[in-house]
Amino acid sequence: MYRILHDTKYDFIRWWRVAAGLTIAFIVVGLVALVLRGGLLYSVDFTGGTVMQLTFTQEPDVQRLRTALVAGGLHGAEIQEFGSKTEYIIRMQGDTSSAGTEVASQNVRKVVAELVGQDGFRVDRAEVVGARVGSELRRGAILAVLISFAITLVYLAWRFEWRFGLAAVLATAHDIIATIAFMAMLRLEVSLTVIAALLTVIGYSLNDTIIIFDRVRENLRKNRKEALYDTLNRSVNETLPRSVLTHATTLAATAALLIFGGEVIRPFAWIMSFGIFTGTFSSIYVASPILMYVEQRFPRDPDSKGARAATVSPAQAKVR
């Protein structure tokens, strides 16, 4: 079987300070952009707005329809096929009063009529819709993420030990913050699709970190006298072929969605593409340094099962 990057000996961990500076700068820029722009941009799922159901005499060109709506000042409109190739739902943010619905409805009628003609469509309904994700459900989603972190910490503490669990959870928290900063920079709209992408990134990042930590645990058992700094470097190098192949294939899929997936799926593809990078980055340059720091602050008993000898290399000592 052909293997790439076999038996490498790169010193990844030595660059942790540079990596920490870069990621802090990136997050700060993103959060500043978030504040200056008045917070995240929410979709109609969160804000409510107007929904219209249209039936066309012929199957419309959805991309042309979306472009026409944007040109007509209806930014962020969600277009979804409904029932058949000629029936579509259009959701728009805006005033949820009856007057606001009437104005939005008239604007859509005008844009669509210019595109397909007055006789090329009919409006089946136009009504106000409330936010599908209310404040209670938002709180529930945040609570669910926190509970997942707690369960992950407990699982890793039992499967590995608490030091590994703490490092993995903090690295994943970094990924969430970095992704929010990325969304602020690109001004991506927070929709149910984006939330699904964010949850997928969390799982992807945790999986990548656990793969490396599992190899760290094996290497700690094999050589208890080896410094943790060297063990981490060796473990990253040993999992490097698997990481490169996995990330390359996943990135190829998300790149295809970015290019060919269309406007609706593009935010999901952006978040996933960024998640591949930040998940890999945090597994090496966030989780590993945190693990070394926690190990130095709370050293294990050398006589305990699976513990390594308390050796600290000169390079590892720089983490303090």
Amino acid identity, position 10:
Y
Residues 6+ apart with CB under 8 A from 207: none
pLDDT-based confidence at residue 162 (cuts at 50, 70, 90): confident
112 assigned to some structural domain: yes
- Look up the domain containing 210 and give its range: 13-38+134-317
4 assigned to some structural domain: no
Kindly tell me if the per-residue pLDDT of 320 is higher than 50.
no
3 assigned to some structural domain: no
- Asked if residue 172 lies in contact with residue 282, where contact means CB atoms within 8 angstroms, the answer is yes
Predicted confidence at residue 131, as pLDDT, reads: 61
Q: Which of 129, 155, 181 is the last residue of a domain?
A: 129
Predicted confidence at residue 271, as pLDDT, reads: 93
Q: Which of 110, 129, 148 is the last residue of a domain?
A: 129
Predicted confidence at residue 32, as pLDDT, reads: 93
Tens-place pLDDT, residues 189-246:
887 788 888 888 888 888 888 888 888 888 888 877 778 888 898 999 888 888 888 8
Nearest to 49 by CA among 197, 186, 189: 189
Cα 211 to chain centroid, rounded: 19
Amino acid identity, position 269:
A
Kindly tell me if the per-residue pLDDT of 2 is higher than 60.
no
Helix 16-36 × helix 266-285 angle, to 10°: 140
Predicted confidence at residue 260, as pLDDT, reads: 83
Tens-place pLDDT, residues 99-120:
666 777 888 888 888 888 888 8
Residue labelled with tokens 């941009």:
41
Q: What is the mean pLDDT of the segment spanning 238-261?
A: 87
pTM over the 0.85 mark: no
Query: Residue 193 is part of a domain; what is its CATH number?
Result: 1.20.1640.10
Predicted confidence at residue 302, as pLDDT, reads: 55
8 assigned to some structural domain: no
Q: Which of 129, 150, 179 is the last residue of a domain?
A: 129
Q: Which of 7-16, 69-78, 174-183, 253-262 has the lowest mean pLDDT?
A: 69-78
Q: Are residues 183 and 222 in the same domain?
A: yes
